[in-house]
Amino acid sequence: MSSNIYIDNGAGIPEDEKKKVFKRGYGKNTGLGLFLIREILSITDINIIETGTPGKGVRFEMTVPDLYFRKCDP
């Protein structure tokens, strides 16, 4: 397995909302963004979770099975 990480320095996500942000209908607009991302990634067994610190920014970690991960030589 390999992990890929996206980090920003915004407001972050409160602890009690970390799992909710991936639910359909949750959010300020359509509530489809992170729900669709998780659904699409799950087709190839990629997992995404939010592990950031509230007040310091978000941290999305995607775990990619070795079968779907390719490293390129520089």
CB atoms within 10 A of CB 58: 19
pLDDT at 27: 82
- Which parts of the chain fold into alpha helices (H)? 33-43
For 14, other C-beta atoms within 10 Å of its C-beta total 11
Confidence band for 1, pLDDT divided at 50, 70 and 90 = confident
The SS3 assignment for 13 reads coil
Considering only the top CATH level, what class is 2-68? alpha beta
- What span, in angstroms and rounded, lies between the C-alpha atoms of 64 and 73? 19
Query: What are the tens digits of pLDDT across the range 11-66?
Result: 999 999 999 999 999 988 888 999 999 999 999 899 999 999 999 999 999 998 88
Read off the amino acid at residue 7. I
